[in-house]
Structure 1
Amino acid sequence: MDPTGVAAAADVTGTGTSQPCAWGDFSVTYTLPPSQRSEEWMRERADELKGKVRQMFVGGTTMSTADMLRLVDTLERLGIDKHFQEEIGVALSRIHTSGEEQDSSNDLHVVALKFCLLRQHGFWVSTDVFDKFRDDTGNFSKDLATDPMGLLSLYNAAHMAVPGEAALDEIAAFARRHLELAKPKLRSPMAEQVSRALEIPRPRFMRRLEAMHYVTEYEQEEAHNTAILELAKLEFNILRSLHLKELKEISLWWSDLYNDVKLTYARNRIVETYLYTCGVFHEEENSRARLMLAKGFALLSLLDDTYDTHATFKECQILTEAIQRWDESCAPILPEYLRMFYVKMLSNLSEFEDNLEPWEKYRMTYIKEMFKLQSKKYLKEAEWFSKNYTPSFKEHVDVSVISTGVPMLFLVALMGAGKLATKEAFDWALHIPDMVRGCAETGRFLNDISSYFKPRSSKMDAASSFECYMKEHSMTPSDAVAAFATMVEHAWRRINQGCMELDRGILPAAQLAVNMTRMNEVLYLHGRDAYTSSDFLRETAASLFLKDFPI
């Protein structure tokens, strides 16, 4: 993989006030070099290996709890757990309901791994399990400082906290402090794993990226299982090929759309948009959902940039009225430069409906309703700007968590997600439940911190939630950053809580909100905005889409 080859392709002209596309026509013209193996061979070999791995679960009743936890964790980190969902569910349920053997372990790594995995899968586990590692004074034993694997697992586990769990605040601080002290002395691959977690804890990290890193790291482990490793490599290469085909398809669609609507002020970010969808669901069976989500995201980005950086307030009012009416016959009432966009937006969303199975078509009603709500929130922000009005922080957030587009995109993700998305899941999502709101809040708060500390791309931007908060509380920027970090943490904890409280029939759909929140962490790492300033994502995208694992 040579990301400089990608960079060389990015010789394009800027569009409006946005940074130019970093990819040129790379995603359309790139072709994979000849593979060592045919795709047919790789699939047949992968099926054979799945059978071997599945046999490991057959002895689950005799396998130790520690070994079962390590097996589940390995499969999830390598991104191949989808093939063993039933087996993993049975194993974790058994571990959760059985008792003394697991709870008697004095291995910090095992105890923390169990805590983390069970909570991630919706099972409640008390923080009391960590009390055994404290001394008589209530402090953690100094001996733990010499166990980097245990500390890393403890640190990751602490980020499965729910609101009010002060004990996990202390645990996270303790583990982080000792990991930072140990990091200079660690060898590969532990050094890389610790560095990655200190940036973004693993429960909050993009799963596809973790798989890309861990395939190489797992191979370095002396005790790695050769069947699991080979399956992970095959799966990554098969999916990479599919993702590149989808990226070409979505790039061609975008090129036609972008050239037709001629909204040159809008961001040209289709590669970054598609990368986001791979973070929400990377699996092969979700191809339709990825393409729908990428198109929905791209259309929403055009709409956002229109309201936010270009249209007058009067034009925003007319566009909102047209969206509420949802009829191509409304196009003539729009300013001329928006007519083609409006028609294309409605026709693309109509194509979404055409791609749904007969029993899925009811889903389009939810999309239309949320799209109309989205435009109303965009209009409210445009009204604030036109009147030079600074809302209260609460007033701002009530509007801007919708204008992030997260509630809308969550419904679009569900729309293409097949049987994962039940009618109950859609009814749940339409009312913007706390898990979806928490995801939107992380996006809102991280975005607004980023936008405050960079030059404004548009003089039309209304006051951000960050600016409203500073004004309302008479805070300095640094104090406001700390307050927003606390609010992002609280949003994550509510998301964690939702995973453990939701009806298990809705949980698979709700997990998409977790993945969307993980993508917020990647996009806004270190205060950047990697969607708008796409250079930040160039190496990440090149690695994900071009990296090959020899078999």
Structure 2
Amino acid sequence: MSIQICASAAPISTKNVGIENAHRSVTYHPSVWGDYFLEYTSDLTDILTHEEQEHQILKEEVNKLLAATPDDFAHKLDLIDSIQRLGVGYHFETEIEKSLKYVHDTYHNESYGKQDNNLHTTALRFRLLRQQGYYVSCGVFDKFKDKQGRFDESALISNVQGLLSLYEAAQFRVHGEETLEEALTFSITHLNSLILQMKKLVRAYFEEAKWTYNGYVPTIEEYMEVALVSCAYMMLSTTSLVGMGELATKEAFDWISSEPLFVRASAIVCRLMDDMVGHGFEQKISIVECYMNQKSASKEEAFAEFQKQVMNAWKDINQECLRPTVPMAILMRVVNLARVINLLYKEEDGYTNSKTKLKEYVTSLLVQPIKISG
């Protein structure tokens, strides 16, 4: 809907309106803050002087750090980025401009060429230079694409720092830069999936805290729905794929994020064994209390039931390994997480009481030499 103003409309007349009515004023009481702060003027002056001296010392230290870090070293970019994110870049405008000009002028030299396969470094350099007004071609990101011309998921999906830097770099795109449009979509898609799982984990922790605070004992079903998330094994299974190179494909992440039986069984081993060894001294609701309350059962009966469930979970894990739909190396990452729990929590809490068997395990593995007869 458009609003039209008629040029011939009669002007508003204030002929018969008094000044005090045309502009109504409010009588405010005198400020209460003047005398209040005047009492502390001398102390404030001393504080400001001291702070100014500290600021000057810190500025000199940062200046030395900027000067000591070579301009052709990736660490210089991280340093400049940190200074600007802290909001103190205006103190070092000359030094930053000098460094970034050098980076731009020597963009294709040998030193930086060695770092070009690092997504974080490439994206950070791109963003800092464009942010400073230097033109850099978005073609620098082509090396991170696959043969089909798309960003290589298998190589980049687990690189959280690189994805975040790529997302920030894409904010400096201009008209016609399709590569940066693709970079924005690609980074948002995969960062959102990680923001993972993290939200689910936080919600689970919050729900458990509410139970404890309110003295509420949930049903077995209510507890397990939350506790299988809060034990963090779902998340750990996903993050365990980081660094697996070509094996960590989008399909692998989609599979593990869908919480298949294989991953769920590993989480059950963790949750139940943890709750059993922690019963009696951990200040939180556990599956043991839930079972005893709901089934009117004894502690011994609850333990017998959960030991049976742990054994069944291991059978699920073994069965899934016989007909894998993903590479065995990925399955082994999840299996090894369950094995750690079995090692630490069998019969006692070796994680909390690390002076017991855990210390012996670490000593025998990393400290004591293996005797080879021969």
Give the TM-score of the pair, scaled to structure 2: 0.48
1 or 2, which has the higher helix percentage?
1
